[in-house]
Amino acid sequence: MVATCWEDIFGQIEAISKLKRFISSGNLGHAYLFAGPQGVGKYTTAKVFASAVNCADGGCGKCLCCDKIAREIHPDVFQFAPEGNFITIEQIREIKREANLKPFEANFKVYIIDEVEKMTMEAANALLKILEEPPSGVIFILITSNLEGVISTIVSRCYQVYFRLIATNLMVSEIMRRYETDENKAKLVAKISGGIFGNAIEMVNSQRRVKRRESVLSLVEKLNNSDALELADGANQLIAEIKDFLDELKLKQEAELAEVEKIVVDRACVSRIKKRLVEKHKRERNKEELGALKDILDVLSSWYRDVLVLTECSKENLLVNVDYVEKLKNLSKSFSLQKAQSALEIIQETRRILRFNVNKQLVLEVMLFGLEEVT
């Protein structure tokens, strides 16, 4: 589901009411900084805010304007994110050139810049200059999950809006309400998704993450009874699943691209928007791949963390993988604090290495061999 209006955003009451107050006061600033943990709705809220200031109905979620913003094909609402590891000076220069042009159809041109802490120093200084003398009718929404990483001169130029992790019990009732799931499933999903509602929704909506978790956990269960070939095969399987999904995503993206011509009537805009969409699709695929790898490591960390909990204090209510309690208990009998810590260190090191441009399958294989050895 693509969120298109305020009602779709869950649990961020303070942030939303603050933004609504800006709009109703008629005193819209030109720069906002949305800060808070990853996956709690900052990006979605940024798009809804862009709708709210541009839609004739204050962000109805139903009109063509709201639809185009939600699909990221509105000619006056722009999305930027790191290209590779950084937001570059070229990207900020593009914003500068663009921001001085008149809007095509919107009241306000909106620039949403995600992961703004990843600007190079050059880019940050260039953005600061724009924020110091902002073009009229332009709103910047900067997004970060690492506020400390954003230079203070930029922070002080923006209205700051904070987003929070959502309490597990609230998430459980919302998941039950939205998806009519039973309480046990909702609790499991809420726990595994670590307070990140976006993850929880994805887990309920798509079987992909659930299946991935099952693949990882079945592999980890077999760790000590497998030979090298089987482990390599397991790593291969995980990578193949990610690739299958990326292929599927590519098909969806191609369909989305084909649809642009139907929605965007203005011929002058079509090729520009298509170009933006292609860039967005590339970012989405990168993000998906990295997210999938992160998922695998998160599942593994939560597993060994659970083993650690049982080894140290046997408090079952602290477990994340509540659907594997018996297996975890069995495993913890032959485990020690030292073993669990070594496993967690190996996973942490794998996380670090995966940030670089490396052969992902090989890295996963090395990790599995390492885990087999220490456990």
CB of 73 to Zn ion, least distance (A): 15
CB of 55 to Zn ion, least distance (A): 3
Which one, 66 or 113, has the nearer CB to Zn ion? Answer: 66
CB of 45 to Zn ion, least distance (A): 16
Q: Output Rg (C-alpha) for the chain, integer angstroms.
A: 23
Q: Using CB atoms, what's the residue nearest to Zn ion?
A: 55
Which one, 57 or 373, has the nearer CB to Zn ion? Answer: 57
Kindly tell me which residue out of 23, 28, 60, 232 binds Zn ion, with binding defined by CB under 5 A: 60
Binding of residue 23 to Zn ion (CB under 5 A): no
Binding of residue 63 to Zn ion (CB under 5 A): yes
Binding of residue 48 to Zn ion (CB under 5 A): no
Find the binding residues for Zn ion in span 144-203 (CB under 5 A): none
Strand 159-162 to strand 138-144: parallel, antiparallel, or no bridges (unpaired)? unpaired
Kindly tell me which residue out of 66, 141, 300, 308 binds Zn ion, with binding defined by CB under 5 A: 66
Burial 193-214 (b: 16+ CB within 10 A, else e): bebbbbbbbbbbeeebbeebbe
Which one, 60 or 210, has the nearer CB to Zn ion? Answer: 60
Site size toward Zn ion (CB under 5 A) is: 5
Residues 371, 344: contact at Cβ < 8 Å?
no
Binding of residue 204 to Zn ion (CB under 5 A): no
| Binding segment (CB under 5 A) for Zn ion, from list 61-69, 174-182, 225-233, 270-278 | 61-69
Question: H/E element holding 350?
Answer: helix 337-354
Binding of residue 246 to Zn ion (CB under 5 A): no
CB of 235 to Zn ion, least distance (A): 47
Binding of residue 5 to Zn ion (CB under 5 A): no
C-alpha to C-alpha distance for 192 and 302, rounded to whole angstroms: 8
Binding of residue 33 to Zn ion (CB under 5 A): no
Sign of CA dihedral 344, 346, 349, 355: negative
Binding of residue 53 to Zn ion (CB under 5 A): no
Residue 18, number of CB atoms within 10 A of its CB: 15
CB of 88 to Zn ion, least distance (A): 33
Which one, 55 or 150, has the nearer CB to Zn ion? Answer: 55
Which residues neighbour 111 within 8 Å (Cβ) at sequence distance 6 or greater?
78, 80, 95, 99, 138, 139, 140, 141
Which one, 86 or 108, has the nearer CB to Zn ion? Answer: 108
Question: H/E element holding 78?
Answer: strand 77-80
Which one, 72 or 221, has the nearer CB to Zn ion? Answer: 72
Token code pair at residue 354: 């995966």
Report how far Cα 219 is from the mean position of its chain's Cα atoms.
Answer: 26
Residue 100, number of CB atoms within 10 A of its CB: 12
Token code pair at residue 27: 């005193």
Q: Which residues bind Zn ion (CB under 5 A)?
A: 55, 57, 60, 63, 66
